[in-house]
Amino acid sequence: MSQRVRAAVFRPDDGRLADAAELLESLGAEPVPDAMLAVEPTDRTPREDADYAVLTSKTGVELAADAGWDAGGTAVCAIGESTAEALREAGYAVDRVPEEYSSAGLVDALEADVDGARVEVARSDHGSDVLTDGLEDAGAYVHETVLYRLVRPNAAGASTERAAAGELEAALFTSSLTVEHFLEAATARGVREAAIAGLNDAVVGCIGDPTRRTAERHGIEVDIVPAEASFDALATAVVEDAAPSYHE
């Protein structure tokens, strides 16, 4: 008989994991939540004297707002619409959102305007060099503030054993770090090769090409990279791809 798609999801357990599981349920899938990221705030605040400030995540926005960051006359830039929405909810005006929700897209959106400007980049400790290097190449004076560190929770890894046992039909990776932490957890449990094999029998989706490249570099075959870099688009595409072919 037909059975629901069992889909592993690796978002941080700060509300996003529960939201992701709820979305997968609404799509008819059986979520297998396994938080591969935990947020450790650094208690630092973005600079307030920049011409432009770039925020790259909802988490960064919330930490900056909680710290009382005053954007003042700074032009505030968000890497994507979810970050922009978080900024607006926190009371900040959003001046720029790139058409392509990526570091490269943000560089493209700003490079014509930042020559000689001070640009503050406030994000996690795993931010891409594509953003900072691209802005510097465009002539900007870039300052980076690490608002939080992303670490692998000690309890992470149950999904690696499910993958190794062939008990997943889908997996959804939302960053290169979720891929790396999944593999670290699999290695720690002694199931790395079997987990990769299990993923390669499932439908694997990645947000964006950088995440896809990381997965493929480690031998994981990627089936889905949605045109829109959002979790909703990723989940919908992966479940739709996995559902028709899964029968017990």
What is the per-residue pLDDT across 73-83, written as a single tens digit (0 to 9) for each? 999 999 988 89
Q: Mean pLDDT in the chain?
A: 93
Query: Which bin fits 196, alpha (ψ -120 to 50), beta or left (φ > 0)?
Result: alpha
Confidence category of residue 245, pLDDT binned at 50, 70, 90: low
Closest CA to 152 of 127, 175, 185: 185
The yes-or-no verdict on residue 248 having pLDDT over 50 is no
The yes-or-no verdict on residue 162 having pLDDT over 70 is yes
Q: According to the model, what pLDDT value does residue 108 have? A: 94
Confidence category of residue 14, pLDDT binned at 50, 70, 90: confident
Q: According to the model, what pLDDT value does residue 247 have? A: 42
Is the model more confident about 64 or about 2? 64
Closest CA to 207 of 9, 5, 3: 9
Q: According to the model, what pLDDT value does residue 104 have? A: 87
The yes-or-no verdict on residue 246 having pLDDT over 80 is no
Instruction: List the domains of the chain with CATH numbers.
Output: 6-37+153-242 (3.40.50.10090), 40-150 (3.40.50.10090)
Q: According to the model, what pLDDT value does residue 244 have? A: 67
Q: Within 13 Å and on the Cβ side, how many CA atoms surround 65? A: 16
The yes-or-no verdict on residue 47 having pLDDT over 70 is yes
Closest CA to 186 of 198, 175, 176, 174: 198
pLDDT per position as a tens digit, 179-209 = 999 999 999 999 999 999 999 999 999 998 8
Confidence category of residue 96, pLDDT binned at 50, 70, 90: very high
